[in-house]
Chains A and B, each alone.
Chain A
Amino acid sequence: MQTATNLAPDAPDLKSNRLTLRYVLQHAGIGLALLILVIFFSIASEHFLTAGNITNILTQITINLILAVGMTFVILIGGIDLSVGSVLAFAGVVAGKVITLSGFSDGTLITMAVLAGLGTGVICGLMNGLISAWWGLPSFIITLGMLNIARGAALHVADARTIYSFPFSFEEFGSIMIFGVPILFLLALALVAVAWVVLNFTVFGRMVYGIGNNEEAVRLAGHNVMFYKVGAFAICGACAGLAALAYMARLNISSPIAGIAFELDAIAAVIIGGTSLAGGRGSVLGTLMGAFIIGVLANGLILMGLNDFMRQMITGLVIIVAVIVDYYRARFSTT
Chain B
Amino acid sequence: MNAHTPMTAPLLTVRGLKKHFGGVKALDGVDLQIRPGEVHALVGENGAGKSTLIKVLTGLHFPTDGEITFQGAGFVPGQPQWSKEAGIQVVHQEFNLLEHLSIAENISIEALPKTRWGFLDKAEMRARAVQALDLVGLGGISTQRPISSLGIAHKQLVEIARALQTDSNLLILDEPTATLTEREKDNLFQIVAQAKARGVSVLFVSHHLDEVFAHCDRVTVFRNGRTVTTEDIAKTSPEAVVAHMVGRHVDHTARETRAHDLGAVVLSTQNLISSANTTGHGVSVEVRAGEILGIAGLVGAGRTEFLRAIFAADTPAGGTVQMDGAAVSFHGPRDAIDAGIGFVTEDRKLEGLILEMSIAANTSMVNLKSLFPKGWMAARTEADQAATYGRKFGLKYGKTGDAAASLSGGNQQKVVLSKWLANSPRVLLLDEPTRGVDVGAKFEIYKILRELAAEGVAMIIVSSELPELMALSDQIAVMSNHQIAGTLERDSFAEEAILKFAYGQAQ
Query: Contacts of B353 on A, CB cut-off 8 Å?
Result: 214, 217
Given contacts A1-B440, A213-B356, A222-B334, contact A11 B407 (CB under 8 A): yes
**Contact (Cβ within 8 A) B350 A217:** yes
Kindly state the separation between the CA atoms of A11 and B406 in the bound complex, as whole angstroms. Answer: 5
**Contact (Cβ within 8 A) B369 A203:** yes
Minimum CB–CB distance for B335 against chain A, Å: 8
**Contact (Cβ within 8 A) B23 A9:** yes
Complex: chain A residue closest to B412, CB-CB: A8
**Contact (Cβ within 8 A) B408 A221:** no
| B residues 405-444 touching A (CB-CB < 8 Å) | 405-408, 410-411, 419, 438-441
Query: Contacts of A159 on B, CB cut-off 8 Å?
Result: none
Kindly state the separation between the CA atoms of A10 and B396 in the bound complex, as whole angstroms. Answer: 12
Given contacts A3-B439, A3-B441, A209-B357, contact A203 B365 (CB under 8 A): no
**Contact (Cβ within 8 A) A214 B396:** no
Given contacts A6-B23, A7-B440, A220-B345, contact A202 B351 (CB under 8 A): no
**Contact (Cβ within 8 A) B375 A210:** no
Among A206, A220, A333, the most chain B Cβ lie within 10 Å of the Cβ of: A220
**Contact (Cβ within 8 A) A221 B406:** no
Kindly state the separation between the CA atoms of A210 and B354 in the bound complex, as whole angstroms. Answer: 7
Minimum CB–CB distance for B340 against chain A, Å: 12
Kindly state the separation between the CA atoms of A224 and B411 in the bound complex, as whole angstroms. Answer: 28
Given contacts A206-B361, A217-B354, contact A7 B410 (CB under 8 A): yes
**Contact (Cβ within 8 A) A7 B366:** no
Q: B333: CB under 8 A from chain A?
A: yes
Query: Contacts of A182 on B, CB cut-off 8 Å?
Result: none
Q: B98: CB under 8 A from chain A?
A: no
Q: A97: CB under 8 A from chain B?
A: no
CB contact between B357 and one of A201, A202, A213 (< 8 Å): that residue = A213
Query: Contacts of A281 on B, CB cut-off 8 Å?
Result: 356
**Contact (Cβ within 8 A) B357 A203:** no
Q: B319: CB under 8 A from chain A?
A: no
**Contact (Cβ within 8 A) A222 B337:** yes
**Contact (Cβ within 8 A) A203 B375:** yes
Task: Render A210-236 as a binary contact track against B, CB cut-off 8 A, 1 for contact.
Answer: 100110111111111000000000000
Q: A204: CB under 8 A from chain B?
A: yes
Q: B47: CB under 8 A from chain A?
A: no
Kindly state the separation between the CA atoms of A218 and B366 in the bound complex, as whole angstroms. Answer: 8
Kindly state the separation between the CA atoms of A247 and B486 in the bound complex, as whole angstroms. Answer: 72
Given contacts A206-B377, A210-B357, contact A220 B22 (CB under 8 A): no
Complex: chain B residue closest to A213, CB-CB: B354
Q: B376: CB under 8 A from chain A?
A: yes
Q: How many residues of A contact B (CB 8 A)?
A: 34
Minimum CB–CB distance for B390 against chain A, Å: 13
Q: B352: CB under 8 A from chain A?
A: yes
Q: B372: CB under 8 A from chain A?
A: yes
Query: Contacts of A213 on B, CB cut-off 8 Å?
Result: 354-357
Task: Render A147-180 as a binary contact track against B, CB cut-off 8 A, 1 for contact.
Answer: 0000000000000000000000000000000000
CB contact between B368 and one of A1, A201, A203, A214 (< 8 Å): that residue = A203
**Contact (Cβ within 8 A) A217 B411:** no
CB contact between A7 and one of B351, B361, B377, B441 (< 8 Å): that residue = B441
**Contact (Cβ within 8 A) B440 A334:** no
Q: A317: CB under 8 A from chain B?
A: no
Kindly state the separation between the CA atoms of A206 and B362 in the bound complex, as whole angstroms. Answer: 10
Given contacts A217-B351, A220-B313, A220-B351, contact A202 B377 (CB under 8 A): yes
**Contact (Cβ within 8 A) A204 B334:** no
Query: Contacts of A209 on B, CB cut-off 8 Å?
Result: 357
**Contact (Cβ within 8 A) A221 B438:** no
Q: B501: CB under 8 A from chain A?
A: no
Complex: chain B residue closest to A11, CB-CB: B406
Q: A280: CB under 8 A from chain B?
A: yes
Given contacts A14-B406, A334-B405, contact A203 B438 (CB under 8 A): no
Task: Render B297-341 as a binary contact track against A, CB cut-off 8 A, 1 for contact.
Answer: 000000000000001010000000000000000001110111000
Question: Which A positions have Cβ atoms within 8 angstroms of B?
Answer: 1-4, 6-11, 14-15, 201-204, 206, 209-210, 213-214, 216-224, 280-281, 333-334
Q: List 16 A-B contacts (CB under 8 A).
A: A1-B440, A2-B440, A7-B410, A7-B441, A8-B411, A203-B368, A203-B372, A203-B376, A206-B361, A206-B368, A219-B313, A220-B343, A221-B333, A221-B337, A222-B334, A222-B337
Question: Shortest 6 CB-CB distances between A and B: which pairs?
Answer: A3-B440, A222-B337, A8-B408, A222-B334, A221-B365, A214-B354
